[in-house]
Chain A
Amino acid sequence: DVKVTQSSRYLVKRTGEKVFLECVQDMDHENMFWYRQDPGLGLRLIYFSYDVKMKEKGDIPEGYSVSREKKERFSLILESASTNQTSMYLCASSLSSGGSNEKLFFGSGTQLSVL
């Protein structure tokens, strides 16, 4: 089975800190995604990447950036964390775009608290 691993399950940071959330997948998937999950809002797409060094903005990219230097690794960066970025962050991957390959494999999530 595909495994998507997020480096931390819980993270507590202070306002203004630079925060890195790491995600690794082990099945050579082309696409990787970062979502945030908030009560009453569901999942919202922050950024995604369809290839190494490529990135595309999702629905809520403000305050975030990403890095994909290697195919298996996709990092989410909060340049200056703010309290409204307290959330559950979910990483996902999929084999390729289009056709029937929209099955996403999710990590277990990182619960980030910004104080």
Chain B
Amino acid sequence: GNSVTQMEGPVTLSEEAFLTINCTYTATGYPSLFWYVQYPGEGLQLLLKATKADDKGSNKGFEATYRKETTSFHLEKGSVQVSDSAVYFCALSDRSGYSTLTFGKGTMLLVSP
């Protein structure tokens, strides 16, 4: 079956540091890949996505590239802010059936001033 593995958190960074959150996946076929973010007290919201190999999703300074050869979709940001503190979820959709999403366990990011 499908699965998503994320690095465990919390990831603790100082403001303006470089961020990488690793995500690898197992899936049959060619899934779409997503990063969702959950700010404190809120539901998840889509941060970015990529639908095919070598696509790069980007939003709000975050980027992730769909790497089919390494089955990875690592999230990066060049300079984090305190307001980026949140839980980040990697997810995939296998495009078969009803396209339900499979989520990773989430990685908490804490950014200090």
On A, residues with C-beta under 8 Å from B are 4, 31, 33, 35, 40-43, 45, 48, 50, 56, 58, 90, 92, 97-109
Contact = CB atoms under 8 A, between A and B. Distances in A.
Interface stretch (B42-50, B60-68, B69-77): B42-50
Given A45-B100, A104-B36, 16 more contacts: A4-B43, A42-B89, A42-B103, A42-B104, A43-B44, A90-B43, A90-B44, A97-B97, A97-B99, A102-B34, A102-B101, A104-B101, A105-B45, A108-B41, A108-B42, A108-B43
Looking at A50, A92, A104, which has the most chain B CB atoms within 10 Å of its CB? A104
A92 B51 CA distance: 21
Interface of B: 32, 34, 36, 41-46, 49, 51, 89, 93, 95, 97-101, 103-106
A56 B98 contact: yes
A26 B24 CA distance: 34
A106 B43 contact: yes
Nearest to B32: A102
B106 A103 contact: no
Contact of B98 (A35, A50, A92): A50
